[in-house]
Amino acid sequence: MSLAPPPGGFHGPVKRSITIAGHQTSISLEPIFWQALERAAAARRLPLSALVAQIDVLRIAEDMPANLGSALRCWLLAEAGKVESRSH
Protein backbone atom coordinates (compact mmCIF):
# COMPACT_ATOMS: atom_id res chain seq x y z
CA MET A 1 0.00 0.00 0.00
CA SER A 2 1.43 3.39 -0.96
CA LEU A 3 0.82 6.74 0.67
CA ALA A 4 -0.31 9.90 -1.07
CA PRO A 5 -0.38 13.50 0.10
CA PRO A 6 -3.76 14.96 1.06
CA PRO A 7 -5.79 16.57 -1.73
CA GLY A 8 -4.21 19.94 -2.45
CA GLY A 9 -0.95 18.94 -0.76
CA PHE A 10 0.49 19.83 2.61
CA HIS A 11 -0.07 23.38 3.87
CA GLY A 12 0.62 25.19 7.10
CA PRO A 13 -2.02 26.80 9.30
CA VAL A 14 -4.24 29.63 8.12
CA LYS A 15 -5.52 32.06 10.75
CA ARG A 16 -9.19 33.10 10.70
CA SER A 17 -11.22 35.28 13.03
CA ILE A 18 -14.54 33.87 14.24
CA THR A 19 -17.10 35.28 16.65
CA ILE A 20 -17.92 32.86 19.46
CA ALA A 21 -20.27 33.72 22.29
CA GLY A 22 -20.18 37.37 21.27
CA HIS A 23 -16.41 37.79 21.14
CA GLN A 24 -13.89 37.53 18.32
CA THR A 25 -11.22 34.87 18.48
CA SER A 26 -8.50 33.88 16.05
CA ILE A 27 -8.03 30.23 15.17
CA SER A 28 -5.14 28.77 13.19
CA LEU A 29 -5.90 25.56 11.31
CA GLU A 30 -4.53 23.93 8.21
CA PRO A 31 -6.77 24.42 5.13
CA ILE A 32 -7.82 20.77 5.13
CA PHE A 33 -9.27 21.23 8.63
CA TRP A 34 -11.07 24.45 7.65
CA GLN A 35 -12.61 22.59 4.71
CA ALA A 36 -13.69 19.71 6.95
CA LEU A 37 -15.24 22.14 9.46
CA GLU A 38 -17.11 23.91 6.67
CA ARG A 39 -18.48 20.56 5.41
CA ALA A 40 -19.49 19.54 8.95
CA ALA A 41 -21.25 22.88 9.50
CA ALA A 42 -23.07 22.60 6.16
CA ALA A 43 -24.14 19.02 6.94
CA ARG A 44 -25.69 20.30 10.17
CA ARG A 45 -27.13 23.39 8.47
CA LEU A 46 -25.17 25.64 10.81
CA PRO A 47 -22.97 28.64 10.21
CA LEU A 48 -19.31 27.78 10.74
CA SER A 49 -19.17 30.04 13.80
CA ALA A 50 -22.11 28.17 15.39
CA LEU A 51 -20.42 24.78 14.96
CA VAL A 52 -17.15 26.12 16.36
CA ALA A 53 -19.07 27.62 19.31
CA GLN A 54 -20.69 24.25 20.06
CA ILE A 55 -17.33 22.48 19.96
CA ASP A 56 -15.91 25.24 22.19
CA VAL A 57 -18.63 24.57 24.79
CA LEU A 58 -17.66 20.88 24.81
CA ARG A 59 -13.97 21.82 25.08
CA ILE A 60 -14.51 24.18 28.02
CA ALA A 61 -16.44 21.47 29.90
CA GLU A 62 -13.32 19.27 30.00
CA ASP A 63 -11.24 19.06 33.20
CA MET A 64 -8.12 20.21 31.32
CA PRO A 65 -9.38 22.05 28.21
CA ALA A 66 -7.11 21.95 25.17
CA ASN A 67 -6.68 25.07 23.08
CA LEU A 68 -9.49 25.64 20.60
CA GLY A 69 -7.47 24.69 17.50
CA SER A 70 -6.51 21.35 19.05
CA ALA A 71 -10.09 20.73 20.15
CA LEU A 72 -11.36 21.36 16.62
CA ARG A 73 -8.81 18.97 15.10
CA CYS A 74 -9.65 16.26 17.66
CA TRP A 75 -13.38 16.69 17.11
CA LEU A 76 -12.94 16.44 13.34
CA LEU A 77 -10.83 13.30 13.66
CA ALA A 78 -13.42 11.72 15.96
CA GLU A 79 -16.19 12.65 13.50
CA ALA A 80 -14.21 11.11 10.62
CA GLY A 81 -13.89 7.91 12.65
CA LYS A 82 -17.67 7.79 13.15
CA VAL A 83 -18.23 8.07 9.40
CA GLU A 84 -15.70 5.33 8.66
CA SER A 85 -17.07 2.99 11.32
CA ARG A 86 -20.59 3.39 9.92
CA SER A 87 -19.46 2.42 6.42
CA HIS A 88 -17.94 -0.91 7.55
Q: Which domains does the chain have, with CATH numbers?
A: 14-87 (1.10.3990.20)
Q: What is the pLDDT of residue 32?
A: 93
Beta bridge partners, 16, equal 27
Q: What is the phi/psi pair of residue 40, to 5°? A: -65, -40
The list of the chain residues with pLDDT below 70 reads 83-88
What pTM, to 2 d.p., does this model score?
0.86
pLDDT at res. 1: 84
E strand or H helix at 19, and its extent?
A: strand 14-20
pLDDT at 71: 96
pLDDT at 39: 96
